Amino acid sequence: MVSVILFILFPIIGLPIYLFYYVFDKNKKGILYSAVIGLTLGILAYYFVPRTDYDLYRHQMIVSQLTGISFQQFLILSKEIELEFLPSLYSYIIALFHNLNLLQFFIVSLGYFILLFMLYDYRKISKIKVLPFLFIVLFTLFGFNTLYFISGLYYYIAIIIFAYAFYIEYVKKGNKMVSYLLYLSTLFIHNSMAFALIILFIYKLCMNKFNLKSAFICIFIFSLSFYVINFINSIFDIQFLDTVLKMYNSYVTRDDSFKILYSGIILFIEITKLKIFI
């Protein structure tokens, strides 16, 4: 109750207190505290003013473009917008409120809620002790660059949703249909997730048990396939293959977030298997 009152009165100032309750409270209210911390970080994102070279600025301009039009007009215009379907629809919904800052507020709040909820849920499953759990929470919050998240909204929320789907399937051993739907949804959020899904597909075809060796094999096959594609494209100059290669160079070879996603998944499974911190 104290944390809720603080959130209403002093949402940002109370952040250390919310974190304290999230880690140390024994009343099993982790979902509530995850939501409160997520909303607090969303408020911080709300007041962020992007530079003109940031992705967020471009996304806000799309919202401005969609303001004041009907849904039928949106469906026609959406074909010209350089966004996947779900971000386009989300941009149209935000445009209805005539407030550009809501664009980053909702996504940042949701993203951090999912991250913190995953940690809370994993703590219940594995019964991690308080201090190791505190370390993991701090590492997650401060090791994840909030500025990148705010600026590259759709890219990072897609990665977080993919990680959550992976968590449901391989760590929690939950409903596979839910995880598959979440995997699929990331494609409609950001097309770069096609590469993550390709690796997942290769793994499901070739491996029965996830381990470090199988992960390296998947990544090796995945990387090798693009050398083959590059060779074929250099001979036949196929437009589709050229587009795929550009996406690969943009989102995989030059972007640390994908490396963090892959290595984080591997490390998480290995820690779970070895029962470190439990």
User: What percent of the chain has a predicted confidence (pLDDT) above 90?
Assistant: 28
Whether the pTM exceeds 0.85: the reply is no
Of 157, 197, 185, 189, the residue nearest 83 (C-alpha): 189
C-alpha 266/C-alpha 87 separation (Å) is 29
Out of 105-114, 119-128, 139-148, give the one with best mean pLDDT.
105-114
Note whether 16 and 141 are within 8 A (CB). Answer: no
Who wins on pLDDT, 198 or 240? 198
Q: Two tokens at 168?
A: 């449901």
Who wins on pLDDT, 29 or 167? 167
Of 267, 215, 224, 272, the residue nearest 248 (C-alpha): 224
User: What percent of the chain has a predicted confidence (pLDDT) above 70?
Assistant: 68
CB atoms within 10 A of CB 98: 11
Confidence band (pLDDT; 50, 70, 90) for 61? very high
Note whether 184 and 237 are within 8 A (CB). Answer: no
Could you tell me where the DSSP H helices lie in the chain?
A: 2-9, 15-24, 30-46, 55-66, 71-77, 85-95, 102-126, 130-143, 146-151, 153-166, 176-187, 193-206, 212-236, 239-248, 256-274
Q: Which amino acid is at 102?
A: L
Averaged pLDDT of the chain:
78
Mean pLDDT of 199-226: 64
Q: Two tokens at 42?
A: 């969303």
Note whether 192 and 251 are within 8 A (CB). Answer: yes
pLDDT at residue 268 greater than cutoff 80: no
Cα 271–chain centre separation: 21
pLDDT digits (tens, 9 = 90+) for 27-51: 678 888 899 999 999 998 998 989 8
Out of 60-64, 141-145, 208-212, 260-264, give the one with best mean pLDDT.
60-64
pLDDT at residue 212 greater than cutoff 70: no
